[in-house]
Amino acid sequence: MRQENMRRLISVASLVILALVFGFTSNGFFTATNILSILRECAITGIIAIGVSFVIITAGIDLSTGAIVGFVSMLCANLLYNYALPAGLVMFISVLAGTVCGVLNGFVVTKLRVPEFIATLSTQYLFRSLVFVFAIREMGVITNKKITDPGILIMGGSVNGVYLVTITFFALAVIGQVILKKTKLGTYIYATGANRKSADLSGINTDNVRWAVFIITGFLCGIASIFEIGRIGSATTDLGTGLEFEVIAAVVIGGCAFSGGRGDIFGTAVGAIFMAVLQNGILKYNLPTAAQLIIKGVVIVAMIVFDSVYNQYMQKRIHQKASEEAQAAGGEA
């Protein structure tokens, strides 16, 4: 079996095993409402993870996604409260704002040549500070106001039980996978991640590729923000804090390697669902918080260690096979 398909099988198998463990050891896991709940929970992380997958496949990283979501959500809440703009316009502005954040990230990384980790860590602080700039204030004190515009609130809604955010996530995941596997941009993304120097020498503008993936991530963060405030109905100053790590965990569990050049959106989708199943299952046990965090941490670390070991094993096998074939060819000649 190809390495890629093997890895996919392992991702799906882990998800199924986890779901079965929770299903048999707790009540109410395999009910329709619970499963629809899980699919809803995974969707926000999942939408952003699509973009972050692109970034990680190019051997980059984006630590500012949570802050972008926080900033865009607060911007929306501010516009709705202070200017009563129509829902459609607010949604357009939010996606635009997210995209602009992505453009800034890409600029700092490609034009200012700051390493991604530091660049996005810094922009994270920048975007988080913008949250406070746009926070709604009454008499100088920050107050959080409910969003009452039905056009926005309906984004947190569902059709026959299936949440809009879930449908959007799956649609965007399909589009993301098609981009990765069937378009030139996808090929360039893999090439940039696998070996940037080679890609440059082959004539690929790796700077533009890396810029593009940040813009895509920012765009997706904007979309995710709309669904987030649609569901919660307000924007708090700490919204999105820690989200970037959930997203990165989902991407890595799904098979994208930090070294770049490997992974796809199918894996990321499985990873996002895995994280949501894990969170949902742990809550069912009603354990104290410390135990919850330990279990979550151990499972994530185990998946990442396994991924690393598996990758090394497969690399060894590939080299072995290559040297065997080289020997056989040398022997013949």
Q: Give the binding site for other proteins (CB under 8 A).
A: 27-28, 31, 33-34, 37, 41, 135, 140-147, 150, 153-154, 156-162, 164, 167, 171, 174, 178, 182, 231-234, 236-239, 241, 279-280, 283-284, 286, 288-289, 292
Which CB, 290 or 333, lies closer to other proteins? 290
Task: Choose between 199 and 235: whose C-beta lies nearer to other proteins.
Answer: 235
Please state, in angstroms and rounded to a whole number, the distance separating the CA atoms of residues 247 and 43.
11
Dist CA 192 CA 261 (whole Å): 7
Residue pair 59/246 in contact by the 8 Å Cβ criterion: no
Which secondary-structure segment (H or E) carries 197? helix 196-201
Identify which of residues 288 and 331 has a Cβ nearer to other proteins in the complex: 288
Q: For other proteins, give the closer residue by CB, 26 or 311.
A: 26
Tokens of 111: 């034009």
Nearer to other proteins, 238 or 325 (CB): 238
Query: Tokens 């040297």 correspond to what residue?
Result: 323
Run of H or E including 83: helix 65-83
Evaluate whether 89 touches 259 at the Cβ level (below 8 Å): no
* CB 262 to other proteins: min, Å: 24
Residue 149's SS3 state is: coil
CA distance 167 to 170: 5
Amino acid at the residue 304:
I
- Check if the beta carbon of residue 111 is closer than 8 Å to that of residue 53: no
Q: How far apart are CA 333 and CA 318, in angstroms?
A: 22
CB of 22 to other proteins, least distance (A): 13
Query: In the complex, what is the shortest distance from the CB of residue 34 to other proteins, in angstroms, rounded to a whole number?
Result: 6
Instruction: Indicate the pairing of strand 137-138 with strand 141-142.
Output: antiparallel
Measured from the CB atom, the residue of 5 and 160 that comes closer to other proteins is 160
